[in-house]
Chains A and B, each alone.
Chain A
Amino acid sequence: MQVDIFLKKKLHNLSFILLLGTAVLGAIILTEYDVAKGFSSVPAAIQWALSNFYPDSESMEKFPDIFEKLVETVLISVAATTSGAALALLFAIAGSSTTQFNRFLGQVSRTIATVFRNIDMAVWSMILLFSFGQSAFTGYFALFFGSFGFLTRAFIESIDEVGDSSVEALRATGAGYFSIIFQSVIPSSISQMISWILFMIETNIRSATLIGILTGTGIGFAFSMYYKSLDYNAASLVVLVIVAAIFIIEWVSNYVRRVIL
């Protein structure tokens, strides 16, 4: 009986590996992708990057422009994340089983959050391009919707993780719903939530760069503009600025995390 189970597991694993192998082979054949050529082009790509892709003195003159775009992108990301977080907090309180107003509304808010979470930000920007065109609004709302969906889920987990023990205690004192939320649920989970917001800001700055290419705004647009006009030196400066910004933001958010946790 037990031997059977092990054998079954082995067969399962084997068939999974075979399936994966077939899928890879199938994809290579269908797309006519030359594996050998793919790998052999890597050194050439590196060589090209080293000889073209570096900032020179001429591109440094564009630094103020690039920096302005970066600030715009960072600010939009922060604004989208924080406003998304505010809405997510409401939905998380309505959606967590410890704090939900009633079962039906809880289910509704969880479902809405799931829908928003499962639509990728890139897809959001494509959808929003129809309503807002190529503008900063498109990027803002794409980030806003994505953050809202993700943070609602994360906040529900933060609330559930703390558990309902202090909620029970406050209910037993006769405290009302809002007193319980503000005196027990939020103080217990706020640092976890801030940590999620910081994570979301980091992620959003990265996504904002890519969304910017699509929506023609921010630092992403600066990159695609320089790249398409064959100004590789300026484009590389954009990349360096983005990398530096991401490191600085990561450092700041780690510092904040240390302080609050």
Chain B
Amino acid sequence: MTTLLELKNVSKYYSKDIAALSNIHFSIEEGEFVSVIGPSGAGKSTLLRCINRMIEASSGEVVFNGTNIRKLGRKGLRETRTQIGMIFQHYNLVTRLTVIENVLHGRLGYKSAVAGMLGIYSQEEKQQAIRLLEELGLSQHMYKRVDQLSGGQKQRVGIARALIQNPKMLLCDEPIASLDPGSSKIIMDHIKNISASYKITCLVNLHQVDVALKYSDRIIGVNKGEVVFNGKPSELTTDMIHKIYGSETGDLIFEAGERNAG
């Protein structure tokens, strides 16, 4: 097993005295499926975005595939971002464009300014987009405008856009928080399958403990910008869930109880 991602003492201050993240320290092995859980406002989104520098961390190191991302220049950062796919709670698609155009956007990181501006894609890239959409069950919707799709379908477009980057890692920020339970399961199954079949490392922010328990190799619990748990799903006790979620518990404990019963 080789380490793909390592965070060393990463901190983030939005304002002077309140730390959104303080001294985050963990590493992720190649091919691992890791969930980050914690109450809203804990710093999950900030943590994910400090990895690909959508948000600049205040201090610390983010080592991805052997290079410290925080030291990279503009060009190096762009190159590294092509290796990291990102999936969002609100899909973040260009809704006025077609499904396949949105998928091909995942290739823009590899393009020169002119090719990118004009949207010039090679035949192989188009073929790959079509293959991915077939794999994700969207072949009938390929030429529809995205604003005509359901939430679950939009998220699958988001997944295809990330996959066409041929990434080493996927960062997923609450990918199912806006979906109904049925679509949520489909999306989580897709992400899990992708992780296994393409050997893509996944770091997934989740709000639901039961989902994290079901899909993850490892769970990281975050509270008030600090890692308070880092271990296997089987090690996540009810007490621990309490600690991660503070007072915001109730049904969460019930979910953990369910797992123990089943």
Contacts and interface: CB of A to CB of B under 8 A. Distances in A.
Interface of A: 165-166, 168-184, 187-188, 191
A168 B82 contact: no
A182 B111 CA distance: 13
Contacts of A187: 94, 96-97
B178 interface: no
Nearest to A165: B92
Interface string B78-106: 11111011101011111111000000011
Nearest to B164: A173
Nearest to B87: A169
Interface stretch (B115-123, B181-189, B228-236, B251-259): B115-123
A166 B93 contact: yes
B165 interface: yes
A98 to B, nearest CB: 13
Interface residues of B, number: 37
A191 B90 contact: no
A172 B81 contact: yes
Contacts of A168: 54, 88, 92
Given A165-B88, A168-B54, A169-B161, A174 B78 contact: yes
Nearest to A189: B96
A175 B85 CA distance: 12
A170 B84 contact: no
Nearest to B78: A174
30 contacts: A165-B88, A165-B91, A168-B92, A169-B86, A169-B93, A170-B108, A171-B54, A172-B52, A172-B86, A172-B171, A173-B81, A173-B86, A173-B105, A173-B106, A173-B165, A174-B78, A174-B79, A174-B81, A174-B82, A174-B165, A176-B113, A176-B116, A177-B113, A178-B117, A179-B117, A182-B119, A183-B105, A184-B105, A187-B97, A191-B96
A182 B81 contact: no
Nearest to B114: A178
Contacts of B96: 187-188, 191
Contact of B94 (A173, A176, A178, A184): A184
A204 B107 CA distance: 42
Contacts of A173: 81-82, 85-86, 105-109, 161-162, 165
Q: Which of A169, A172, A183 has the most CB of B within 10 A?
A: A172
Given A165-B92, A169-B88, A188-B94, A179 B111 contact: yes
Given A178-B117, A179-B108, A172 B54 contact: yes
